[in-house]
Amino acid sequence: MATEILMPALSPTMEEGTLAKWLVKEGDTVKSGDIMAEIETDKATMEFEAVDEGIIGKILIEEGTEGVKVNTAIAVLVEEGEDVPEDAGKTEAATSDDEEKDEKSEDGDEEETTSAPDEQEVKAARAAAPDGPDPKAAAAPEPDWPEDTEIRQQTVREALRDAMAEEMRRDDSVFLMGEEVAEYEGAYKITQGMLDEFGAKRVVDTPITEHGFAGVGVGAAFGGLRPIVEFMTWNFAMQAIDQIINSAAKTLYMSGGQMGCPIVFRGPNGAAARVAAQHSQDYAAWYAQVPGLRVVMPYSASDYKGLMKTAIRDPNPVVFLENEILYGRSFDVPVMEDFTVPFGKARIWREGADVTIVSFGIGMSYAMEAAEKLSENGIEAEVIDLRTLRPLDYDTVIASVMKTNRCVTVEEGWPVASIGNHLSAHIMTHAFDYLDAPVLNVTGKDVPMPYAANLERLALISTDEVIEAVRQVTYR
């Protein structure tokens, strides 16, 4: 029986690709495991292997064809002596056997992703995390750069790399270590080109030994270097949390101020898509609880850049919480000799008089989308991006709440002892008389992250939940 060979998805996020090269021709016999073609995804060229045995009856898509949708028939496999059926190649992407795909593209996060290997981006499957507004349209009332500065679009990924590279050029005591950071250029391709520029002395591949290399980093910081320690994801930093807290955060105090620890621990934090409970945790509230640590969780590319530069220069241990889904997203970044963003200063992304929405990191994309939708219905939200959780810019939040009299917090982490809980208490203490409604916290659900697509969608926050919370506090 003839079978169609379909264009495969070769990464969790791929929707279409280029059929770069056929390695078989019509009439060739293939068996499972044979490499049939090379297919280019947006970031990498991958080999496509045969699953079934048979003869290549017909090649339907010529090599060199770009934009071939996943699940389009690209060739027909026949058995010995069989003809290629007339209707071969009638399969088109969306008509093939998975409704799920359709569902995904509707959820429609078009943002690009890397070729990262495993620990990888996954996100087409991700229902939540809207792209946020057009970054240009999102006029920031308080940009961190002078008005006439030249602006360019950069991804969070590029901004992070530029920040690290600029600081490494500026200060030769800065070095980078972590799993797959050098030769592989980062599991999420954050450190592209860094080994080439700085060499193996300053861009160091470590074995899979988080507790060990975090400790080595802390020791190097005690000794006067400025390490940047990449965790492939923060989930794996749980192996190392003792060094981060007991050694890095507490030593300055315990040594009576003699010995500080200028180190940056960084990596993606929070949920990606469909990677389940052990790979999806948000650590914002955990680390924000620890005196002695700085905790940074940016949203936009300019903040990733400016805050990373500040983090590397800071004399304290910094926990820098990134987000895999944001890595591929583009934002305005100023073209400046030395652009930094200070710790402890929130950014107001949108002004409004009806309600204050406070968020940070990926939560901002829900907050911003909710604000746009609410605006269509006449509710003007003020949206504050905390950017750093320690120090936390209480003043900006309180000033806004005094103006709007209502507040909703948005974060992806768990509800109990969340950043939102902390802010609610602070607002209650410092602006009690100004509140016209209780502060509501929109958070991830109080469950380990499930794998199943439908349950994962429910476990994460959604724009609708933010809108609903705003309706409750505005009684509309």
Ligand X SMILES: Cc1ncc(C[n+]2csc(CCOP(=O)(O)OP(=O)(O)O)c2C)c(N)n1
Kindly list the residues in this chain that would bind another protein in the complex (CB under 8 A): 6, 8-12, 32-33, 35, 44-47, 49, 51, 70-71, 96-98, 100-101, 104, 115-122, 124-125, 179-180, 183-184, 187, 205, 207-209, 211-212, 235-236, 238-239, 272-279, 415-416, 445-448, 450-455, 458-459
CB of 423 to ligand X, least distance (A): 32
Among 31-39, 232-240, 408-416, 442-450, the segment contacting ligand X (CB under 6 A): 232-240
β-strands 388-390, 347-350 pairing: unpaired
Q: Among another protein, ligand X, none, what does residue 458 contact (CB within 5–8 Å per kind)?
A: another protein
Q: Side chain identity at 69, as an amino acid letter? A: K
In the stretch 181-220, what mask flags binding to ligand X with x, by CB under 6 A?
---------------------------x-x----------
CB of 450 to another protein, least distance (A): 5
- Of 298, 344, 300, 338, whose CA–CA distance to 139 is shortest? 300
In the stretch 372-411, what mask flags binding to ligand X with x, by CB under 6 A?
----------------------------------------
Whose Cβ is closer to another protein: residue 209's or residue 246's?
A: 209
- Of 191, 47, 182, 176, whose CA–CA distance to 114 is shortest? 191
Q: How many of the other CB atoms lie within 10 Å of CB of 69?
A: 16
Strand partners, 75: 5, 59
Provide Rg for the chain, Cα atoms: 25
Whose Cβ is closer to ligand X: residue 119's or residue 411's?
A: 119
Whose Cβ is closer to ligand X: residue 65's or residue 239's?
A: 239
CB of 392 to another protein, least distance (A): 22
Determine if residue 400 is left, alpha or beta; phi over 0 gives left, psi from -120 to 50 gives alpha, anything else beta: alpha
Whose Cβ is closer to another protein: residue 151's or residue 238's?
A: 238
CB of 179 to ligand X, least distance (A): 5
* 76 membership: H or E segment, kind and range: strand 73-78
Whose Cβ is closer to ligand X: residue 29's or residue 278's?
A: 278
- Of 326, 312, 308, 303, whose CA–CA distance to 387 is shortest? 303
CB of 232 to ligand X, least distance (A): 5
Q: Does 119 bind ligand X (CB under 6 A)?
A: yes
- Of 213, 156, 214, whose CA–CA distance to 189 is shortest? 156
Active site residues: 210, 279
* Cis amide prior to 342 (ω within 30 degrees): no
Tell me how far CA of residue 395 lies from CA of 192, 402, 408, in angstroms: 38, 10, 16
Choose which of 239, 375, 421, 472 interacts with ligand X (CB under 6 A). Answer: 239
β-strands 388-390, 294-296 pairing: antiparallel
Q: What is the DSSP string of 360-379?
A: -TTHHHHHHHHHHHHHHTT-
